[in-house]
């Protein structure tokens, strides 16, 4: 690995270790995930059945796959918009981040991705297992959805970390960012496709959703992984995801540079 | 290498304070945290940077390492422009912010060191060697595997210091490193810094409220007040100013009327009907021993202590004497 990237890789590993120290919290997260998973199952299965067993390409089996994969991603995709970095700007601890010979953006994103990866094991896989065992779900039988799905998932997770970082940089100007964080949470809940698959939205709403980076964080990885979309469509989705990732990282870097000019760290 | 390791010229930083007045309107006031500061520190020096709370010490330090952007004036650190060359500078400087942690809270101390070694791109062999050196000197061996959040303050401050020094920086900036530490922990930290400077010739810039830190560690002091440089010079010069107001506290065997008429002594106050009396004296004109003799001639002394004035008091006096 290039020497320039080594610090960020090390921070990613540190993120994995950090996340792994809170096992009980992860178990709590899993219980919450599963509970809401059954709620989603009840509502969305009823919707599919009311539509005559098939709704916009979803049958019971594929809807189940959507529910349990989306619940499984909840520990790894940051839908809440909260971040350590926002707190660090607010408290002035960001001074420490700026005293290191690395990019604060790279450091924050690497660490968050590490945490997300660490959550996939204990929160993601059990959630999918619960769904498969208790409710049953249909998953692809060919290898490529899994291969592309993993790539799509990784981009989604990194994009989520990069987007929440960019959100947190608002703190350079606002100090307290809870207002926009709550706004982010409300919007991302819908537009990532966490509550309901985006293809069930009315046309105009789905058009708005697909014009944002949110579906790239969760909906597209689910579509690719569960084999809901064709190989070609999967590759297109990966391209869209990659474009959003690059754009988000660039915006985050620009905001960091601009924010540094206005940064005020007082009191120690 | 004749360029100073730290050089500022007319360095100024203003903060805009917005205070609410009425429902929507906000008043703006400009607070000048650092005001036209021109200082210079040579490589290898050990300099105390002192001043009261809010005097602008931390703001200066943050401009020195490129965290804050100056409003006016110039600053060069290690021959670099801290803003434009922040990352290069970070390899040359080690900073400890006494109030903030640079360690990973949930991870063992050892892992924080390993992460920092990667961040500074220290070769693994060199990193191991340096870590062993720091762990030995700061006596951290028995808590290397403990998560940072479980450390005592004294243990954590030693780990913070090691973290800042892991990449063997040329310039070490310590912002109140001994804050909240007990006497023994302070002593240990100071001894370590003295040894570190002897071995590596490290330049040290230190802010503190502790006179002991300054006396043990610094050849020269800069005093800042309301963002302006109020004094710079030798420790002796500062000590003379400081010496002007040492206080001898005597515990007497019997209640005694206030000792107000001792030569060269100002009686500050008494407790317990004169069982304990506080006497201020000018170290230029008399000595603690002479004052004690004077007191002993009148009444038997049971116990005594000499109080060193705190930094805030010193700063106030220096500042007043300049007006």
Q: Is the pLDDT of residue A266 over 70?
A: no
pLDDT at res. B313: 66
ipTM of the complex: 0.92
pLDDT at res. B312: 60
A224 within some domain: yes
Domain extent at residue A160: 6-260
Interchain pair B65, A99: CB under 8 A: yes
Strand order in the sheet with B228-234: B93-97, B171-175, B203-207, B46-50, B220-225, B228-234
Question: What string of pLDDT tens digits covers the 323 residues of chain B?
Answer: 568 999 999 999 998 877 776 666 677 888 899 999 999 999 999 999 988 788 899 999 999 999 999 999 999 999 999 999 999 999 999 999 988 999 999 999 999 999 999 999 999 999 999 999 999 999 999 999 999 999 999 999 999 999 999 999 999 999 988 888 888 888 989 999 999 999 999 999 999 888 788 888 998 999 888 899 988 888 777 766 655 567 889 999 988 889 888 888 888 889 888 899 998 887 778 888 899 999 999 999 999 988 766 666 666 666 666 55
What gap in Å lies between CA A194 and CA A71, rounded to an integer?
8
Grade residue A41 by pLDDT with cuts at 50, 70 and 90.
very high
What gap in Å lies between CA B135 and CA B132, rounded to an integer?
5
Nearest CA in chain B to A11: B115
A126 within some domain: yes
pLDDT single digits (tens) B213-232: 888 899 899 988 889 998 88
A87 within some domain: yes
pLDDT at res. A216: 98
Nearest CA in chain B to A17: B107
Instruction: Please count the helices (runs of H) and the strands (runs of E) in chain B.
Output: 10, 14
The helix or strand, by DSSP H or E, that contains position B161, with its residue range, turns out to be: helix B153-165
User: Which site among B31, B67, B117, B165 would you substitute to test the A interface, given the most A Cβ atoms closer than 10 Å to its Cβ?
Assistant: B67
Three-class SS of chain A = CCCCCHHHHHHHHHHHHHHHCCHHHHHHHHHHHHHHHHHHHHHHHHHHHHCCCCECCECHHHHHHHHHHHHHHCCCCCCCCCCHHHHHHHHCCHHHHHCCCCCHHHHHHHHHHHHHHHHHHHHHHHHHHHHHHHHCCCCCCCCHHHHHHHHHHHHHHHHHHHHHHHHHCCHHHHCCCHHHHHHHHHHHHHHCCCCCCHHHCCHHHHHHHHCCCHHHHCHHHHHHHCCCCCHHHHHHHHHHHHHHHHHHHHHHHHHHHHHHHHCCCCCC
pLDDT single digits (tens) B160-188: 999 999 999 999 999 988 888 888 888 98
Q: How far is B3 from chain A (nearest CA, A)?
A: 22
Average pLDDT score over residue span A66-84 = 94
Q: Is the pLDDT of residue A167 over 90?
A: yes
Chain A neighbors of B205, CB-CB under 8 A: none
What gap in Å lies between CA B118 and CA A243, rounded to an integer?
30
* Chain-centroid distance, C-alpha B187: 14
Instruction: Let me know: does B101 contact B160? Beta carbons within 8 Å.
Output: yes
* Chain-centroid distance, C-alpha A239: 17
What gap in Å lies between CA B261 and CA B268, rounded to an integer?
12
Look at B16 and A61; give whichever has higher pLDDT: A61
pLDDT at res. B177: 87
Percentage, residues of chain A above pLDDT 90: 85
What gap in Å lies between CA B37 and CA B54, rounded to an integer?
15
Q: In this predicted structure, which of A210-219, A259-268, B286-295 has the lowest mean pLDDT?
A: A259-268
* Chain-centroid distance, C-alpha B70: 22
* Token representation of residue B119: 């961040």
pLDDT single digits (tens) A226-246: 999 999 999 999 999 999 999
Chain B neighbors of A92, CB-CB under 8 A: 100
A96 within some domain: yes
Nearest CA in chain A to B68: A263
Strand order in the sheet with B265-271: B265-271, B276-281, B246-252, B301-307
Instruction: Let me know: does A55 contact A200? Beta carbons within 8 Å.
Output: yes
Torsion angle (degrees, nearest 10) of CA B137, B141, B142, B148? 90
User: Which site among B113, B118, B163, B207 would you substitute to test the A interface, given the most A Cβ atoms closer than 10 Å to its Cβ?
Assistant: B118
A48 within some domain: yes
pLDDT at res. B240: 67
Other Cβ atoms less than 10 A from the Cβ of B305: the count is 9
Instruction: Let me know: does B17 contact B32? Beta carbons within 8 Å.
Output: no
What gap in Å lies between CA A222 and CA A242, rounded to an integer?
16
How many CA within 13 A on the CB side of residue A114?
A: 21
A99 within some domain: yes
Grade residue A79 by pLDDT with cuts at 50, 70 and 90.
very high
A161 within some domain: yes
Q: How far is A265 from chain B (nearest CA, A)?
A: 8
pLDDT at res. B19: 74
A267 within some domain: no
User: Which site among B53, B77, B97, B208 would you substitute to test the A interface, given the most A Cβ atoms closer than 10 Å to its Cβ?
Assistant: B97
What gap in Å lies between CA B279 and CA B296, rounded to an integer?
13
- How many domains does chain A contain in total? 1
Q: How far is A113 from chain B (nearest CA, A)?
A: 16
pLDDT at res. A242: 98
């Amino acid at each position: 690995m290039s020497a320039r990237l080594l610090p960020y890789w090390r921070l990613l590993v540190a993120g994995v270790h950090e996340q792994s120290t809170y096992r009980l919290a992860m178990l709590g997260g899993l219980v919450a995930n599963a509970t809401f998973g059954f709620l989603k199952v009840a509502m969305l299965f009823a919707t599919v059945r009311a539509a005559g067993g098939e709704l916009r390409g979803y049958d019971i089996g594929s809807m189940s796959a959507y529910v349990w994969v989306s619940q499984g991603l909840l520990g790894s995709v940051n839908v809440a918009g909260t971040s350590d970095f926002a707190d660090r700007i607010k408290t002035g601890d960001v001074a420490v981040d700026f005293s290191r010979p690395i990019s604060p953006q790279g450091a924050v994103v690497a660490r968050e991705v590490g945490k997300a990866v660490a959550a996939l094991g204990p929160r993601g896989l059990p959630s999918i297992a619960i769904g498969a065992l208790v409710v049953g779900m249909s998953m692809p039988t060919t290898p490529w959805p899994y291969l592309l799905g993993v790539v799509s998932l990784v981009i989604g997770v990194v994009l989520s970390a990069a987007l929440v970082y960019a959100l947190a940089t608002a703190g350079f100007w606002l100090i307290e960012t809870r207002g926009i964080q709550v706004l982010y949470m409300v919007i991302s809940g819908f537009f990532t496709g966490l509550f309901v698959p985006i293809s069930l939205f009315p046309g105009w709403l789905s058009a708005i959703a697909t014009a944002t980076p949110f579906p790239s964080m969760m909906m597209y990885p689910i579509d690719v992984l569960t084999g809901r979309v064709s190989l070609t469509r999967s590759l297109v989705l990966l391209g869209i995801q990659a474009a959003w990732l690059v754009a988000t990282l660039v915006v985050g870097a620009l905001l960091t540079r601009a924010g540094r000019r206005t940064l005020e760290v007082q009191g120690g | 290498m004749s360029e100073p390791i730290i050089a500022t010229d007319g360095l100024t930083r203003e903060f805009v304070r917005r205070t609410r007045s009425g429902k929507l309107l906000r008043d703006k006031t400009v607070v000048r945290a650092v005001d036209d500061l021109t200082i210079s520190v040579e490589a290898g020096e050990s300099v105390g940077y002192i001043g009261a709370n809010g005097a602008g010490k931390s703001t200066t330090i943050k401009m020195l390492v490129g965290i804050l952007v100056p409003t006016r004036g110039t600053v060069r650190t290690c021959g670099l422009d801290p803003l434009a060359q922040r990352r290069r500078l970070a390899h040359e400087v080690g900073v400890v912010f006494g109030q903030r942690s640079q360690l990973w809270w949930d991870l063992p101390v050892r892992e924080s060191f390993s992460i920092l070694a990667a961040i500074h791109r220290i070769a693994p062999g060199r990193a191991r060697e340096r870590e062993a050196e720091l762990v030995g000197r700061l006596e951290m061996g028995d808590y290397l595997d403990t998560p940072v959040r479980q450390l005592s303050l004294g243990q954590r401050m030693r780990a913070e210091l090691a973290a800042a020094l892991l990449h063997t920086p040329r310039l070490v900036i310590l912002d109140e490193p001994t804050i909240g530490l007990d006497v023994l922990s302070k002593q240990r930290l100071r001894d370590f810094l003295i040894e570190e400077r002897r071995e590596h010739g490290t330049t040290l810039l230190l802010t503190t409220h502790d006179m002991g830190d300054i006396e043990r560690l610094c050849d020269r002091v800069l005093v800042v007040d309301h963002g302006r440089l109020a004094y710079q010079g030798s420790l002796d010069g500062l000590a003379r100013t400081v010496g002007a107001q040492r206080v001898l506290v005597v515990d007497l065997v019997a209640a005694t009327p206030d000792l107000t008429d001792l030569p060269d002594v100002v009686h500050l106050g008494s407790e317990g009907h004169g069982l304990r009396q506080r006497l201020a004296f000018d170290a230029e004109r008399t000595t603690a021993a002479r004052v004690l003799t004077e007191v002993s001639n009148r009444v038997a002394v049971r116990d005594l202590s000499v109080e060193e004035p705190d930094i805030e008091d010193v700063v106030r006096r220096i500042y007043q004497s300049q007006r």
